[in-house]
Amino acid sequence: MSPFDMLALAWLAIGALVLPAALFKTAPYGRHTVKSAGPTIPARVGWTVMESPSALLPLLLFALYPRFEPVPLVLLALFELHYIHRAFIYPFSIRAGARPMPVSIAAGAFFFTSVNGLLQGWVITHQPFAMDPRVVLGTVLFFAGFAVNKHSDRILFALRAPGESGYRIPRGGLYGLVSCPNYLGEIVQWCGFALASYSIAGLSFAVWTIANLLPRARAHHLWYRETFPDYPRERKALLPWLY
């Protein structure tokens, strides 16, 4: 195993440890914000700053180590499609009434997206690749997850009129089945990317995404059930019919 793969494996192991910890302590942003999380910044600023490293670092690595081959170009396009949207478009779709974000959350996420941007960018510019069924299947999964994530986030934004900050029961799309289809889509997306890149680094990102979003889906689901007496009983937290 190369030193780079050992580093990626260590990062993956940390992600796997985050999962049980996050089940006990919900990340304090959005509806789970608590005063003790410290000073806050507007959500739009937080999202742009904390997601930018993953948008910019792979591009920087590609500029340093250009690699005009089909698979690296596909992987770079997938990663940038997501992160250019997440850092520079998504924040401006967030309703003005969204909860401010604790600086501590934005700082932690900035560190995460920096490490992850470097890991994925390094794989894209350095790992040997061949056109392989994994690349095709992974790309299909990526787009399926991307579509579910974006559609579900759009449903959430449409729940608030300008200036509103309250919460409503989301309906439509996969909300008929689960409380957090946006998280489900994001998880499918990065599992697809892991398959397409068939790398330990790609797998580490999928593990970190599950570690962040599975506990948060559980927390959102319990919160919905406690907050809305008429919350649909058949709806699961994250996985249709299962969980």
Least separation in angstroms between CB 99 and ligand NDP: 4
Q: Give the number of other Cβ atoms within 10 Å of residue 64's Cβ.
A: 9
As a whole number of angstroms, the distance between CA 196 and CA 190 comes to 9
Residue 216 or 235 with smaller CB distance to ligand NDP? 216
Q: Give the number of other Cβ atoms within 10 Å of residue 152's Cβ.
A: 22
Least separation in angstroms between CB 186 and ligand NDP: 3
Maximum CA pair distance of the chain? 56
Least separation in angstroms between CB 39 and ligand NDP: 17
Least separation in angstroms between CB 86 and ligand NDP: 7
SS3 for 168? coil
Residue 61 or 207 with smaller CB distance to ligand NDP? 207
Residue 105 or 135 with smaller CB distance to ligand NDP? 105
As a whole number of angstroms, the distance between CA 220 and CA 209 comes to 16
Least separation in angstroms between CB 107 and ligand NDP: 15
What own/partner pairs with CB < 8 Å and gap ≥ 24 does 49-52 have? 49/106, 49/110, 50/105, 50/106, 50/107, 50/109, 50/110, 50/113, 51/83, 51/86, 51/87, 51/90, 51/91, 51/109, 51/113, 52/87, 52/113
As a whole number of angstroms, the distance between CA 195 and CA 203 comes to 8
Q: How far is CA 243 from CA 131, 153, 178, in A?
A: 35, 20, 9
Residue 129 or 211 with smaller CB distance to ligand NDP? 211
| Residue with the CB atom nearest ligand NDP in the bound state | 30
Least separation in angstroms between CB 6 and ligand NDP: 23
Residue 76 or 129 with smaller CB distance to ligand NDP? 76
Residues that bind ligand NDP (CB under 6 A): 30-31, 43, 94, 98-99, 149, 153, 156, 159-160, 167-168, 170, 182-183, 186, 208-209, 212-213, 216
Residue 25 or 168 with smaller CB distance to ligand NDP? 168
